[in-house]
Amino acid sequence: MSAAVRVRGATKTFPGRGRAAGVTALENIELRVEPGQFVSLIGPSGCGKSTLLRLVADLDRPSAGSIEVFGDPAAKARVKQAYGIAFQQAGLLPWRTVAANIRLPLELHRFPPARRHARVAELLALVGLEDFADRYPDQLSGGMQQRVAIARALAESPELLLMDEPFGALDEMTRERMQGELKRIAGETGAAVVFVTHSIPEAVFLSDKVVVMSPRPGRIVDELPITLGTGSAADDVRESEAFFRQVSAVRELLHGVPGAAPRGVDLR
Amino acid sequence: MTARSLTRVRALLLGLGGIVLVGVAWDLYASFGPDAGVQLGGVLVLPRASATAMPSVGSMFGRLLDPVASGPGSPLLLTAVIQASLVTLGVAALGWVVGIVVGLALALLMQRFRTAESALLPWVILSQTVPLIALAPLVAGLISTARVGGQAPPLWVSVAIIASYLSFFPVSVGALRGLESPERAHVDLLRAYAVGWWPTIVRLRFPASVPYLLSSLRLAAANSVVGAVVAEVAIGMDGGIGRMMLSYAQSSSGDPAKAFGPIFGAIAVGLVSAGVVALLGAALGRYRRAEATA
Ligand SMILES: Nc1ncnc2c1ncn2[C@@H]1O[C@H](COP(=O)(O)OP(=O)(O)OP(=O)(O)O)[C@@H](O)[C@H]1O
Ligand SMILES: [Mg+2]
> Which domains, from first to last, does chain A contain?
1-11+28-82+158-268 (3.40.50.300), 92-156 (no CATH)
Give the pLDDT mean for B251-270: 86
Q: Do B185 and A138 touch (CB under 8 A)?
A: no
pTM of the model: 0.83
The predicted structure's pLDDT at residue B211: 92
Give the pLDDT mean for B58-72: 84
Q: Sign of the CA dihedral B63, B68, B71, B72?
A: negative
B87-130 pLDDT per residue, tens: 999 999 999 999 999 999 999 999 998 888 888 888 888 888 88
Chain A residue numbers touching B183 (CB-CB < 8 A): 89, 91
Give the pLDDT band (50/70/90) at residue A95.
Answer: very high
On whether residue B40 sits in a domain, the answer given is no
Q: Across chain B, what does the average pLDDT equal?
A: 87
Instruction: Count residue pairs from A and B with Cβ separation < 8 A.
Output: 56
On whether residue B293 sits in a domain, the answer given is no
The predicted structure's pLDDT at residue A260: 46
On whether residue B275 sits in a domain, the answer given is yes
User: Is A78 in the B-facing interface, judged by CB distances under 8 Å?
Assistant: yes
B247 has pLDDT over 90: no
The predicted structure's pLDDT at residue A57: 92
The percent of chain A in helix, strand and coil, each rounded to the nearest 5, is 40, 25, 35
A236 has pLDDT over 80: no
C-alpha span between A136 and A205 (Å, rounded): 31
- For ligand 1, is residue A157 a contact (CB within 6 Å)? no
Number of folded domains in chain B? 1
On whether residue B181 sits in a domain, the answer given is yes
Give the pLDDT band (50/70/90) at residue A162.
Answer: very high
On whether residue B151 sits in a domain, the answer given is yes
Chain A residue numbers touching B186 (CB-CB < 8 A): 91, 93
Return phi, psi of residue B141, to 5°.
-60, -45
On whether residue B25 sits in a domain, the answer given is no
For A138, the closest chain B residue by CA position comes to B293
User: Is A111 in the B-facing interface, judged by CB distances under 8 Å?
Assistant: no
C-alpha span between A95 and B207 (Å, rounded): 8
Q: Across chain A, what does the average pLDDT equal?
A: 86
Best-predicted range by mean pLDDT (A10-14, A18-22, B174-178): B174-178
A33-73 pLDDT per residue, tens: 999 999 999 998 888 899 999 999 999 999 999 999 998 99
- For ligand 1, is residue A137 a contact (CB within 6 Å)? no
C-alpha span between A119 and B64 (Å, rounded): 64
The predicted structure's pLDDT at residue A232: 62
On whether residue B121 sits in a domain, the answer given is yes
The 3-state DSSP class for residue B142 equals helix
On whether residue B44 sits in a domain, the answer given is no
For chain B, how far is it from start to end, CA to CA, in angstroms? Answer: 24
The predicted structure's pLDDT at residue A257: 53
The 3-state DSSP class for residue A148 equals helix
Ranges A29-38, A46-55, B62-71, B239-248: which has the least confidence: B62-71
- Which CATH number fits the domain that encloses residue B225? 1.10.3720.10
The predicted structure's pLDDT at residue B293: 46
For A140, the closest chain B residue by CA position comes to B293
For chain A, how far is it from start to end, CA to CA, in angstroms? Answer: 38
Structural domain boundaries, residue B221: 57-287
Q: Do A81 and B194 touch (CB under 8 A)?
A: yes
B203, B210, B289 ranked by CB distance to A138: nearest: B289
